[in-house]
Structure 1
Amino acid sequence: MDGLYLLPNAEEEIIDSYDEDIIVTNRTGKIIKVTHISGQQYGITSRDLLGQSVYDLEKRGIFSPAITPQVMQQKKKIVVIQTTLDKRKILVTGIPLFNEHNEVEYVLSYSYEVSDLLVIQDYLNELEGEMTKVKEELELLREKTLSVNGIIAESKYMKQVLKTIAKVAPLPVSVVLHGENGVGKSLLAKWIHKQSRWSDGPFIEVNCGTIPEAIFEYELLGGSKPDATKKIGYLQMAQNGTLYLQGIDELSLTAQTILVKALRQQKDHFRMISSTEKSLEELMNQKQLREDLFYLIHVVPITIKPLRERLEDLTEVIQQYFRKFCDKYLVQKELSNDLFHELLHLEWYGNHLEVKNVMERLVVQSEGPIITKDDLPVEYRKQPSQIEGLEIEGRTLQTILDQVEKRVLCSAQRRYKTTTEMAKALGISQPSIVRKMKKYFNE
């Protein structure tokens, strides 16, 4: 059995060479050595401890439980929390000391008051949190490379987006990236950072939707504790780099007020990029977005169209993810022509995220080497046209057209968040959308 071996003299003594609370007991539980501060935790002097039995002290309630019998029984290091007469908590560690026969001859214990440890633990927890953020930042800065692989610009539209980014990236202007979930806004934000004069600095990404309003200011600006333990806020972390506020449309008005004040004071110290899935103009008109915040961040707006509107890019995205998962799972498979055509005509409201998910499912769930339309998940299989299900007999053309128009509006309402987006998708004006919605849904 591995362990410590110690054969101290049996004389009771107070050890003066330690500033720690150390107690040594023999195998019968008698205290034979203490340090000069031993006993303070229990409200008695170190000299009064000498010669006492830990079993008697436990019965008198001086402390509970006694650690010596536990160490003797288990023959290994034990950690317990003792309770004293005045209900304080003491963290005690007991270590067995063996004789030449590998028997526990003595037990050495040392203790700390739990309240002291909690103060240290709070400090360490906060320090650990700050170190985690610093390590994440260093990971991004390592070798000055951000993960920007995956930008696909086969379409004329995306090539123009990249040209715009190349033009504005070196300039000290705020950029807003607008697009549906999964179109690659974070990827483009990193690309802007890499092409900017702030590329040697940190890229700090903040998900606005995950920060509770109550601690937004604390997270943004940092804490107010003494410098040794002060929390570093996102603005300070982004100094001489880029601050990317993902989902800025999700901030409450209170959080927006805090952000506006902070940006007015420090916006010249870092590059500002934000992203949104909603129309900021419409949010401002609805009083859900502060006007001053809109004009602070909305200097260069860049819209990223969904994949369903960029067939050249969608084609490449499908192929790239398919090849990736074939390589990952060590299989050789192909997409049939009819399946590929079907994939190009799906809506893909999750964009890259959804395509990636479906490609992985097709690779791992399909049976044969050729993947066909029959291998598509059920929810992606094309349903019969709704027009075929319309009742025509005995109905006027206008009635039929109204029914079709209502179905189209229902579908658009499920897919788009605002009437402005619905109008753009359907190719009519926003007031027309409002009138038609009122006609069919406020009857």
Structure 2
Amino acid sequence: MMKENGFIDVQLEDFVQGTDRPCFILNEKGALVYSNVLTELLLKNHLLSVDYLHGMIPADGEVISTIRVGESYDALVRKIIISGTTLFHVVLHNLLESRGVLNIDDNMESVINSLQEGVYITDGEGFTKKINNAYTELTGLSRQDLEGKHVAELLSFGVFDSSMTVRVMKSRTRFSNMQKINNNKICLVTGVPVFDENNNLIAVINSAYDLTEMNRLQEDVKKSEISLKRKDIEIDRLRARVGQSHSSSTRSAIMKSVYKISEKLADSDVSVLLLGSTGTGKSTMAYSIHKNSQRAKEAFIEVNCGAVPESLFESELFGYVKGAFTGASDRGKVGLIESADKGTLFLDEIGDMPIHLQVKLLTFLQTGKIRRLGETNDRKINVRIISATNKDPVKLIEAGMLREDLFYRLSLVSLTLPDLKERKEDVFFLAKDILGAVNERYGKAVEMSKEVFLFLESYDWPGNLRELEHVIEQMVVLLDGSVIGVDSLPDKIFSPSVLKPTEIPIELNLTLQDYMDIHEKEFLSMAIKSEQDTGKLSSKLGIHRTTLARKLKYHGIK
């Protein structure tokens, strides 16, 4: 992949990368702007030279031309305009292979025009081949407006707000989503790929259904029930918070062990001390234990011991009665421990609690009773205590910041949450869940490219889950388009020092092909363990069964 002359269009690059044949983009000077992996292999093996590309630019005024490239290829060169910039889309066809083309004859065109839903067909490179009459009626766009133009051009003109075609090209599977067309029609669009006998993508057929009126009615309902909606959003937020910590969402053995223990803790009432670095999800784990316990319907009160001023800590935690001290409310105040009666009290960063209040907390844990400030009578409170710290409790005890007797009361069971770098196999699934939650929060439908997931999995995440959440939210908020690419990544993540293998170092005596072979073998070895049926595995990998068999034999994988 190459980016030159400052031109960046993520959608156009996605089309190039999704093409099954050598494909690249040239600017008006014949310089290479984007290229896919197949093109890069031709350049690497000197089957195609950068200097030769300059001669591919058509004569002035030509929109499309065909050029012979050596003895093996024909180059189809088509002019496109993206955001006012003239570019040339080039795809190479191997003369030794049959060229798969979706032929739309008169009979097929009659069938397409008889359909009630809108039909929009592109070739395997993203150029519009045909629309039917229903599509014109639905969108107000004529054949002259669309046919022959590349989808990336139409996106840059604002004809579409997103592209089903590029999503189908990347996934090589059926894909459905909402799409705004011609800036006014909201449609449900379903894209279906069409392959030739060599499993090359030759067309994408999109069908569109008008949802504008349905959405208008839904908006009316939303406006009439706005207060109810706010409550639903809060409920969904809490559910998502619990769902992120459910054992079914993890793939790492260490987290499966943690969740197995947490499920047992939810069934009991013992005091739990959660250990782990900042951002590992201790608060979420505490809430999950509470929500899966018999106390789930009662209050969950969270107290960050490091955020409460020492002068107010005692009154906040234990409450006070009228006149207990100067400035006290005439109505008194219920303390946080009492507010959690019959529920769960979560004391985060317990090592930051003032040492003199630790004595009072220890008394409560021993007796189950509290006394508000200025009060003479005790109150019986039934509450479960979960505490947490990001520091070593032994060192806190040695430093005089945590009472040893309180530590033993709080840590009947200690549970350590691992750093995110110790559970890299979960990053992909966590990132997808977080992206979904952020999309819902901001009313967006942003997607993330495979390359971004690769960088996220390679980064060590010193800030753990919290840092991952912040990075994804930042990228969504600042994104102009609909797909997060590597250009949206912070510099600390989008770095060659991040994206490197952990077990196979890059050595100077390795060629690129050697390096690719090493990782291809490693990937296929893992893939065949998860799916022994080569037919199903080839389908998942998006390659032909014979291609998979050849690669397995080449690498000696049985």
- Compute the TM-score of the two structures, normalised by the length of structure 1: 0.50
Larger radius of gyration: 1
**Structure possessing the higher relative contact order (Cα contacts under 8 Å, 6 or more residues apart):** 1
Higher percent of residues as helix:
1
- Compute the TM-score of the two structures, normalised by the length of structure 2: 0.40
